[in-house]
């Protein structure tokens, strides 16, 4: 029997509070492949009417996002899926290969349909977390992204293939740029994301889709 909502988290830390509140949680493991495989297997086995990805993420330079704050995804984007060239990075549209074909093909950027009222910014998914200021600004500049993580686009991608509304919420654990783990707020960020999701759940906002 399909559940109304399945919440995908990469690690137990990112879903502990949700479990305490009785929300269905799927721990996928870290990274896009783990996320896609875990959600696909769940949907084939159990089914779900909606999917939300919940976890921590980094804030790109000039995003204005504070550490330990929570923000919802306006859209998702595969930030490093494409090809390098002498002229710079070429995304899937430049290469001519849509990730999802159709009347309106989808390339690197995926639409997000569950967006509760409040702060929402473009999210970016990468395979290698950015570790220097120059690269952070380059990715933010060409994607318009505010938040970086490693699973979100894969979750939204799978949900789109199954025709299921999907959303994503992240707590800001660190600035994206030169790595300084002493300044990170991982636990606080994980709590913030889960609290934001639970608030949206209580207010009935996770059932609302917005194009």
pLDDT in tens, 5-20: 999 999 999 999 999 9
Is a pLDDT exceeding 90 seen at residue 158? yes
More confident of the two residues 211 and 33: 33
Instruction: Say what the pLDDT of residue 93 is.
Output: 96
pTM over 0.75: yes
Q: Poorest-confidence range of 8-12, 36-40, 159-163, 200-204?
A: 200-204
Is a pLDDT exceeding 50 seen at residue 154? yes
Instruction: Say what the pLDDT of residue 30 is.
Output: 98
Instruction: Say what the pLDDT of residue 74 is.
Output: 97
**Which residues does 144 contact at the CB level (< 8 Å), separation at least 6?**
122
Please report where in the chains the tokens 């509140």 appear, as a residue: 21
70-77 and 120-125 beta bridge pairing: parallel
DSSP codes joined into one string, the chain: --BS-EEEESSGGGTHHHHHTT--EEE--SSHHHHHHHHHHHHHHT-BS-EEEEEEEEEPTT--PPTT-EEEEEEEEBTT-EEEETTEEEEHHHHT--SB-SSS-B-SEEE-----SS-EEEEEE-SS---SHHHHHHHHHHH--SEEESSHHHHHHHHHHTT--EEEEEEEEEESSS--GGG--HHHHHHHHHHHHHHHHHTTGGG----
**Which CATH homologous superfamily contains domain 6-207?**
Nucleoside phosphorylase domain (3.40.50.1580)
């Amino acid at each position: 029997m399909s559940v109304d909502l399945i919440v995908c988290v990469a690690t137990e830390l990112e879903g502990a509070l949700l479990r305490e509140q009785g929300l269905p949680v799927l721990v996928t493991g870290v990274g896009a492949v783990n996320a896609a495989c875990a959600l696909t297997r769940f949907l084939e086995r159990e089914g779900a009417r909606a999917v939300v990805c919940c976890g921590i993420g980094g804030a790109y330079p000039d995003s204005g996002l504070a550490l330990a704050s929570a923000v919802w995804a306006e859209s998702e984007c595969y930030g490093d899926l494409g090809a390098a060239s002498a002229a710079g990075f070429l995304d899937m549209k430049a290469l001519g290969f849509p990730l999802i074909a159709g009347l309106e093909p989808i390339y690197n950027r995926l639409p997000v349909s569950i967006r509760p009222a409040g702060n929402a910014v473009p999210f970016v998914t990468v395979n290698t977390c950015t570790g220097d200021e120059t690269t952070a600004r380059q990715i933010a500049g060409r994607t318009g992204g505010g938040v970086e993580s490693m699973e979100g686009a894969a979750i939204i991608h799978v949900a789109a293939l199954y025709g299921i509304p999907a959303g994503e919420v992240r707590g800001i654990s660190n600035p994206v740029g030169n790595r300084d783990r002493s300044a990170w707020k991982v636990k606080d960020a994980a709590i913030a994301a889960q609290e934001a999701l639970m608030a949206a759940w209580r207010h009935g906002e996770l059932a609302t889709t917005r194009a």
